[in-house]
Chain A
């Protein structure tokens, strides 16, 4: 019979979360014990001994009121400060993080690797390397939760969310969907396999007959007819995509925006939302409802790969890290 009482700690941040949890637990136990003890002590010491007792009136004490308002709040500020530190330290992935893409779909996780592998409900990662997971949802809100890593992030349809972690221990760990998403919500579970660097290289070499994600995207780019207007070396009806990713692009309305994942995604699904300066609206058709989230990610990885040979220096990683998942990608930009 198994009776685990504490989860395994298998990521770089897990023990820092655990220490804070221990601190909170210790304060909770001390405070609860204190209140229990005082209540118990008063109840016994001042128990009613005769029906005619007249206890002396005590109206209160301003000093005590201030003390038990301010002191607990000061203790709580330590929770706040420590918790915020962990939260902020882990908000943005480091620039050298390895990219993985996960799509939540009722009721499975579809994982894609830039090298071209694809799997369902299985995530393979090398140990001791920061991993950045770009999360997308095909339908409702899901939540990507790896208890052993102490990380969780909602996967909200209509945009990209980013989470990251650094696994520290080879092994197999639960992957759960933590946001209720319908019938088989509790079946939307999988495993994260953390491997040594060598095992991971072997594993990568083992699969992926469809080429890299960028190559898959390139094929799609041709199939969907994107190449008709977005030509690589000469001006077509649409903007040239080489060198666009990671740069700041000038819009028709005078704004300049960063061409990141969210921007490319929006430009494919809702081309009129942000039209580049020098181009016309209503030229490009929408691809909303015609491609899956996985295909969309492949296209983005392809466009991203075009930046590498492009003119402006590649700044996509620092740019992407500075604005994690804040950009709504559908509807009006506020």
Chain B
């Protein structure tokens, strides 16, 4: 309790940011918080690179004719947009940044179990990103982020191997982060931090880590086989040399469907933190919210075939994958209902992170429910590979995941930087993101049912109005992303000091100073209560603030 210096003129408290200076102190750091900051910078850069490709796609689609760039270039745009966003933004986004920073702090640990491996995973990520960007600079890739064979293995004349090597390498970064989290959660919890007291953000990252460790090797093997087939014609996927192109899809989606949960589960963890904090209330149904993360992680491995209902897969396999895809929706629904119930008789404030949480609940609900259309065999045949699918997964990945990431960044920014962001601008940007997002992606549901296939450079003229709406929305969305980037940077110098616990939240990360000291806590915290004990908090902090 004595760590906070009350004198505003005093020198800043020693913390992880001012402990050491100079680029070496960052590039050779073993501090999970500094590594998280390195990740924040890297994935933000990748997010804006992916965003540039998205903007180019939307500008091209203003007119039905392919008139801005040629078809090859357009195909490279959507491929690079997908590869960069999926493998270099969405997958590492929350685990590698907020997870890296806060999983150790939330369980009362000094660091992750393997600090050096943590740093290594960042270098591996950078190496992977370098290959992916090299593929762009050298001339691009045009296979789509899904690398479907035999197009990728035999027919494409672009830098497929370079990009695949990038994704392959980045996978190891993901595996190492997952491994680190699993060991950390098992072995590094503070005294009294039982499994039943773990914050839900930790549960979500734990479940995510399981998928990362178990699933990522499969996509690595798959892409390695694509590379080998391109280089040596080994005949795994190309039927002309004895392979089976559908085998690739089974292997690819065996990872890439669970990967969807790698992307969304940590976001769900963030929402659990936000809803409790800004309702000032414990989570409704803790065991169900925590357990549903594990449920999603497990069932998520059994549903990949729903990407393949029109490939001529056995009808009975389709039946099985359809049924299990409905089953995996249940734990997601459980979460949404429990968040909503948590607000019941709460004390709800409308700070920016909570607005993002509201946005998440709404958009994720739409994203989840439209996923049911795709699990429904008779309807999927019509809408698969159309813009309906594009709209659906953007509702989950952007409406869900990116909103959760932004909500989490706003929530924890005072802890990460020690400063407050400007609330007015933040609310305005949140509104822009919400409105721009819906204008971008809602028309795409209609386009999809009308039959506009995805990955089309030119499209039928009657689809233009809906495409123009989508492009208009994307410009608003883009602005909504740029504003937070500016005010976060601004707040690092000019933002008011945040104090230890500006939201009066209960998590251990809020019990230490902002920014936290290098080893997080002055002395190891002892946990005596379950997570989100807001009802006992007020009695304890009669002099708090």
Residues of A within 8 A of B (CB): 1-7, 16-17, 20-21, 24, 27-28, 31-32, 35-36, 38-39, 42-43, 46-49, 52-61, 64-65, 68-69, 72-73, 76-77, 79-80, 82-88, 90-91, 106, 139-141, 143, 145, 147-148, 150-154, 156-159, 161, 174, 176-187, 189, 288-289, 324-326, 328, 330-331
Q: Which residue of B is nearest A185, CB measured? A: B455
Among B71, B240, B282, B381, contact of A87 (Cβ-Cβ < 8 Å) = B381
| A152-B381, A186-B459, A331-B242 given; 18 more Cβ-contact pairs under 8 Å | A2-B464, A5-B450, A53-B280, A55-B345, A57-B535, A59-B282, A59-B284, A60-B287, A85-B378, A140-B245, A143-B385, A158-B240, A174-B460, A178-B386, A181-B151, A185-B71, A288-B240, A326-B314
- In the assembled complex, the CB of B146 is this many whole angstroms from the nearest CB of chain A, namely 8
Q: Are A84 and B348 in contact (CB under 8 A)?
A: no
Q: Are A4 and B462 in contact (CB under 8 A)?
A: yes
User: What are 19 A-B contacts with C-beta separation under 8 Å?
Assistant: A20-B379, A24-B379, A35-B362, A43-B358, A46-B343, A47-B349, A48-B280, A53-B280, A53-B347, A54-B534, A55-B279, A64-B337, A76-B372, A141-B245, A156-B245, A156-B312, A184-B71, A186-B453, A330-B239
Interface stretch among B174-182, B212-220, B324-332?
B324-332
Q: Are B369 and A28 in contact (CB under 8 A)?
A: yes
Q: Are A3 and B329 in contact (CB under 8 A)?
A: no
Q: Are B155 and A139 in contact (CB under 8 A)?
A: yes
The complex places the Cα of A6 from the Cα of B463 at a distance, in Å, of 11
The complex places the Cα of A278 from the Cα of B151 at a distance, in Å, of 40
> Assuming A52-B538, A151-B381, is B336 touching A35 (CB within 8 A)?
yes
Q: Are A42 and B343 in contact (CB under 8 A)?
A: yes
The complex places the Cα of A278 from the Cα of B66 at a distance, in Å, of 59
Q: Are B379 and A187 in contact (CB under 8 A)?
A: no
Find the residue from B327, B361, B379, B457 having the highest chain A CB count within 10 A: B379
Cβ of B513 under 8 Å from chain A: no
Question: With a CB–CB cut-off of 8 A, which chain B residues contact A189?
Answer: 460
The complex places the Cα of A79 from the Cα of B167 at a distance, in Å, of 36
Question: With a CB–CB cut-off of 8 A, which chain B residues contact A86?
Answer: 377-379
Q: Are A182 and B75 in contact (CB under 8 A)?
A: yes
Question: With a CB–CB cut-off of 8 A, which chain A residues contact B462?
Answer: 2, 4
Q: Are B375 and A328 in contact (CB under 8 A)?
A: no
Q: Are B347 and A55 in contact (CB under 8 A)?
A: yes
Q: Are A60 and B286 in contact (CB under 8 A)?
A: yes
- In the assembled complex, the CB of B425 is this many whole angstroms from the nearest CB of chain A, namely 22
- In the assembled complex, the CB of A141 is this many whole angstroms from the nearest CB of chain B, namely 6
Residues in B317-365 with C-beta less than 8 Å from chain A: 318-319, 322-323, 326-327, 329-330, 333-334, 336-338, 340-341, 343-350, 358, 361-362, 365
Among A20, A69, A72, A159, contact of B376 (Cβ-Cβ < 8 Å) = A20
Q: Are B71 and A20 in contact (CB under 8 A)?
A: no
Q: Are B377 and A187 in contact (CB under 8 A)?
A: no
Among B288, B315, B345, contact of A65 (Cβ-Cβ < 8 Å) = B288
Q: Are B282 and A7 in contact (CB under 8 A)?
A: no
Among B319, B346, B378, contact of A20 (Cβ-Cβ < 8 Å) = B378
Give me the 9 closest cross-chain CB pairs, A-B, nearest first.
A158-B239, A147-B451, A86-B378, A83-B376, A60-B285, A87-B377, A186-B456, A42-B343, A53-B347
Q: Are B457 and A186 in contact (CB under 8 A)?
A: yes
> Assuming A76-B372, A156-B246, A182-B155, is B239 touching A65 (CB within 8 A)?
no
Q: Are A69 and B330 in contact (CB under 8 A)?
A: yes
Q: Are A38 and B288 in contact (CB under 8 A)?
A: no
Question: With a CB–CB cut-off of 8 A, which chain A residues contact B384?
Answer: 152, 178
Q: Which residue of B is nearest A155, CB measured? A: B312
Binary A-proximity of B47-78 (CB < 8 A = 1, otherwise 0):
00000000000000000001000011001000
Q: Which residue of B is nearest A142, CB measured? A: B151
Question: With a CB–CB cut-off of 8 A, which chain A residues contact B370?
Answer: 28
- In the assembled complex, the CB of B361 is this many whole angstroms from the nearest CB of chain A, namely 6
The complex places the Cα of A17 from the Cα of B336 at a distance, in Å, of 29
Question: With a CB–CB cut-off of 8 A, which chain B residues contact A79?
Answer: 326, 372, 375-376
Question: With a CB–CB cut-off of 8 A, which chain B residues contact A159?
Answer: 239, 312
> Assuming A2-B465, A60-B286, is B358 touching A39 (CB within 8 A)?
yes
Cβ of B461 under 8 Å from chain A: yes
Q: Are A77 and B151 in contact (CB under 8 A)?
A: no
Q: Are A32 and B245 in contact (CB under 8 A)?
A: no
Question: With a CB–CB cut-off of 8 A, which chain A residues contact B244?
Answer: 158, 328, 331
Cβ of B458 under 8 Å from chain A: yes
Q: Which residue of A is nearest B155, CB measured? A: A140
Question: With a CB–CB cut-off of 8 A, which chain A residues contact B460?
Answer: 174, 189
